[in-house]
Amino acid sequence: MLVFKLMSNLNIELQTNGYVPDSALTTTLELMENLGRPLLIEGDAGVGKTSIASTLSKIHDCELIRLQCYENLDVQSSVYEWNYSKQLLWINSQNNQKTEHDINHIFSQDFLLERPLLKAIQQKKPPILLIDEIDRADEAFEAFLLELLSEFQISIPELGTIKAESIPRVIITSNGTRELSDALRRRCLYHYLEYPDSDREFLIIEQALPNINKKLNRQIVDFIQALRAQDLRKNPGIAETLDWSAALIGMGVKDLVESKDLISKTLSCLLKTQEDCELINNDTLEKLFNTAS
Amino acid sequence: MNNTQFSDRCVEFVHLLRNKGHIVGIKELIDSMHIISAFKQPDKHSTLLSLRSLCCRNKDEWQQFEKLFMTFWYPNASAVEPNNAFQNIETASLKQQDKSISGFAGTTTSLFETIADSTDYAAGKQNTISKADFRFLNNHEAMREAENLAEKLALQLKARSRAQRKIVMKGRRMDMRHTIRRNMAHGGTPLHPVFSIQYKKPPHLVILHDVSHSMTWNNPLLFRFARGLIKACPESEAFVFHTRLFCVTKLYREKSIQQMRNKLESNNYLWLGGTCIAESLKYFNQNYAKTTLRNNAIVIIISDGFDTDSPEYLASQLRLIKSKSKQIIWLNPMLGRKTHTSDTKTLLAAKPFVDHFIPAHSVDALRSVIYKMTL
């Protein structure tokens, strides 16, 4: 029977390493640790999905292996590739007589180039394997991942099945630009990450920018939260909030409401489309300032 | 509660989740019971959070889980308020729906029966059926035949899309693995190179289907056509709308047509009221556009264009859809009928964003849709 070790200090460790989690995320990460299952994290861009992986690698003091997904990502780029130039050189260095053994030899480990997924399962110490933005990859690649995520093994036709030396902690992120298959979802724990609430965002800014004064921090948080409530095409994420906060501190802003003109010039840190810039006109901005004050 | 009772309750809870569409297997059930028993003093909050991570697979399930959990485990506690706007909208929409509506051939639709008159159109043969206006297919058998034709026609789209990658002897991208294997006899020197070629994938379709009162005549066939499109293009998504919008992709993928019909009716997705096209598209843009639209998506709107929202409102929503997709095709049953006119203001407002307006009053008219798609 499985024995669950609930890590009471995980929350503190995450915070110590620069990530401010909510209780739901901490619970999910504890489950991931105990069940040894991959974790699928969905949420809008900029809510802090990817940074969970880097924080976990710091906590566990292990390697972070990242696979950035994109359209047409294939096995050759993600799992393994044969070192063709080495194979050709080796073939040419041999006598003209080629035996069955020679053919088998050029498809051995000596000629194999590891890509992120293969590298992840061949580590002695369990790494953090981040499969980022899986929704950008094709369904075929998603199907290929199923074997890795359930059995932690990879089948290479020429070489056979390679089993994991240690079970990596797998984090898969998705921005939700396409629906993932049920088969993939079934193999993972699931967490939907939302934009932080105001208290959590306050802590995030405080941790990232320790010199910020509390009043300005609170005003920034209120402003950002109110901005996200607008019907924007691209809501400002945590990174945008931190960039904006750093910009304001750099410009010597002490009070958001007293520096309205300056603030409106720095909105390019937060608004990323022309439509959003048009939407946040002077009247809307005034309302946002009122919320912040 | 002793261990057996607790196990039984856990099983019941998992059954409840399954009934609500969650995919929860035996493994999840066992893990759930382990987790709860692992807590020294299990409390409501931590149990809820743990089970949610374990038993949910997507955003919708995630958002409805808290309510299900509280209803099952704490029935006497005050009802959990929906924690976001999404749930509020869902709850409100469920209350609005009319429960006594159907829109299929073979089901009793008094409106359809009274309006569809018998005319000179003899719908006994396939070629006649394919040309016949949907309104005049009042013969039950002919209707079925036309539905089958519509679905078969949609499946032709499959022939236009091809597999992904194939090994060939002539091409532009050399496949090194196969080349080396083939040229072992020449010491690895690629005297006989092998290539691989990329084939087009099936298009990614997003179908937005108007199921309001004014579309009742046409929908039995258009449902079958839409179902065929979804079957031909596995990555596609389908939505129906009237004053609200619902995702029906899974229903369209039902193996049995009857099952699809039953589920559409039992979920009250059909409607005998008016249409809010713009409002429905707004809901689509807010909740589904991100997951379904991409730069190769072809959006197919099936509607007669009668809209209670303003044309400007519709234009603004179509502009958003257009910015995220490759092509918008509007199928309008009214365009093929001389005696009927659509709401021209609506169509004029939509025109800048719609690549093709195509009549959709007969199976033959639908044929052009397949060839208008830019694959």
User: Domain check: are B140 and B284 in the same one?
Assistant: yes
Length of chain A: 293
List per-residue pLDDT tens for chain A, 293 residues long.
445 555 568 888 999 998 999 889 999 999 999 888 999 999 888 898 999 999 999 999 999 999 999 877 888 889 998 888 888 788 777 766 666 666 677 888 888 999 999 999 999 999 999 999 998 887 778 888 888 888 889 888 888 889 999 999 999 999 876 678 888 988 899 999 999 999 999 999 999 999 898 999 999 999 999 999 887 878 899 999 999 999 999 888 888 888 888 888 888 889 988 878 888 888 888 888 887 77
Listed in sequence order, the residues at least 6 apart from B286 whose beta carbon sits closer than 8 Å to its beta carbon are none
A140: nearest CB among B164, B176, B320: B164
Co-location of B137 and B169 in the same domain: no
Farthest CA pair distance, chain B? 80
Higher-pLDDT residue of A39 and B135 is A39
DSSP B128-148: HHHHS-GGG--SHHHHHHHHH
Cβ-count burial B286-306 (b if 16+ within 10 Å, e if not): bbbbbbbbbebbbbbbbbbbb
pLDDT value for B129: 59
Whether residues A178 and B294 touch (CB distance < 8 A) is answered with yes
A176, A135 contact by CB (below 8 A): yes
Tell me what the mean pLDDT of segment B223-243 comes to. Answer: 84
Residue A190 φ/ψ, nearest 5 degrees: -125, 140
Of chain B, the percentage scoring pLDDT greater than 70 comes to 72
Q: Is the pLDDT of residue B208 over 90?
A: yes
Residues of B numbered 21-60 whose beta carbons fall under 8 angstroms of chain A's beta carbons: which are they?
Answer: 23, 25, 31, 34-35, 38-39, 45-46, 49-50, 52-54, 56-59
Q: The complex's ipTM?
A: 0.81
B/e letters for A108-126, b = 16+ CB within 10 Å, e = fewer, are: eeebbeebbbbbbbbbeeb
Instruction: List the one residue out of B259, B258, B254, B264 whose CA is nearest residue B227.
Output: B254
Q: Are residues B168 and B209 in the same domain?
A: no
In a domain, B91, yes or no: yes
Residues B175 and B64 in one domain: no
**pLDDT at A28 (0 to 100):** 93
Residue B202, exposed/middle/buried by CB under 10 A (0-12, 13-18, 19+)?
middle
Distance CA A191, CA A177 (A): 16
Task: Let me know whether B206 and B354 are in one domain.
Answer: yes
Cross-chain Cβ contact A98/B185 below 8 Å: yes
Nearest-angstrom CA–CA distance, B274 and B260 = 23
Q: Give the distance, in angstroms, between the CA of residue A36 and the centroid of all CA atoms in the same chain.
A: 18
- Assigned domain for B146 exists: yes
Q: Which CATH number is B255's domain given?
A: 3.40.50.410
Residues B219, B189 share a domain: no
Domain spans of chain A?
A: 10-77+115-193, 80-112, 198-292
CB contact under 8 A, B291 and A177: yes
- What's the confidence (pLDDT) of residue A100? 65
Rg (CA), chain B: 25
Task: Give me the mean pLDDT over the B131-139 stretch.
Answer: 62
Helix %, strand %, coil % for chain A, to 5?
Answer: 50, 15, 35
Whether B320 and B290 have beta carbons less than 8 Å apart is answered as no
Calculate how close chain A gets to B343, using CA atoms only, in Å. Answer: 29
Q: What's the CATH architecture for A10-77+115-193?
A: 3-Layer(aba) Sandwich (3.40)
Do B139 and B257 have their domain in common?
Answer: yes
The predicted structure's pLDDT at residue B106: 38
Q: Which of B274, B338, B318, B325 is nearest to B297 (CA)?
A: B325
CA distance A293 to A259: 12
Of B63, B176, B291, the CB nearest to A178: B291
Does residue B187 sit in the same domain as residue B211? no
What's the pLDDT band for B2 if we cut at 50, 70, 90?
Answer: low
Residues from chain B that touch A71, judged by Cβ atoms under 8 A, are: none
pLDDT given for residue B87 in this prediction: 35
Structure tokens at A184: 């993939």
Q: Is B220 part of a structural domain of the chain? A: yes
Q: How many C-beta neighbours within 10 Å does residue B141 have?
A: 12
- How far is the C-alpha of B56 from the C-alpha of A41, rounded, in Å? 11
Is the Cβ pair A87, B291 closer than 8 Å? no
Tell me, what's the pLDDT at B161?
59
- Do B172 and B217 lie in one domain? The reply is no
What is the predicted pLDDT for the residue at A257? 81
Is residue B105 scored above 50 in pLDDT?
no
**Residue B117: is its pLDDT beyond 90?**
no
| C-alpha–C-alpha distance, residues A61 and A70, integer Å | 28
* First CA to last CA distance, chain B: 60
Selecting from B46, B62, B189 the residue whose C-beta is nearest the C-beta of A192 gives: B62
Q: How many domains does chain B have?
A: 3
More confident residue, B255 or B213: B213
Q: Which pairing describes strands A128-132 and A112-114: parallel, antiparallel, or unpaired?
A: unpaired
Q: Cβ–Cβ of B53/A23 closer than 8 Å?
A: no
A82 touching B, CB under 8 A? yes
Determine contact: B186 vs chain A, CB below 8 A: no
Q: Is A169 on the interface with B (CB under 8 A)?
A: no
Q: What is the DSSP string of B6-67?
A: HHHHHHHHHHHHHHTT----HHHHHHHHHHHHH-SS--HHHHHHHHHHHH--SHHHHHHHHH
B105: in domain: no
Cβ-based neighbours of B65, under 8 Å, separated by 6 or more: B48, B51, B52, B55, B56
**Kind of pairing, strands B237-241 and B245-247?**
antiparallel
Mode of pairing for the β-strands spanning B327-332 and B297-302 = parallel
pLDDT of residue B339: 62
Identity of the residue in B46, B189, B291 whose CB atom sits nearest the CB atom of A176: B291
Q: What are phi and psi for residue B137, nearest 5 degrees?
A: -90, 70
- Residue B101 resides in a domain: no
pLDDT tens by residue, B185-196: 777 778 888 888
Phi, psi of A278 (to 5 degrees): -70, -35
Q: Which of the 8 DSSP states describes residue B258? A: H
> Counting Cβ atoms within 10 Å, is residue A274 exposed (0-12), middle (13-18) or buried (19+)?
exposed
- The answer on B334 and B263 residing in a single domain is yes
pLDDT of residue B199: 66
Q: Return the closest-CA partner of residue B216 out of B140, B114, B126, B366.
A: B114
Q: Tens digit of pLDDT for each residue in B65-99?
A: 988 898 888 887 654 443 433 333 233 333 333 33
Residue B90 lies in a domain: yes
In this structure, the answer to whether residues B39 and B131 fall within a common structural domain is: no
Is the pLDDT at B282 greater than 80? The verdict is yes
- Give B297-351 pLDDT, tens digit per residue: 899 999 888 888 888 899 999 999 988 888 999 998 888 766 666 567 888 888 8
Residue B304 sits in the same domain as residue B327: yes
Give the distance, in angstroms, between the CA of residue A196 and the centroid of all CA atoms in the same chain: 16
Q: Print the domain residue range for B188.
A: 164-198
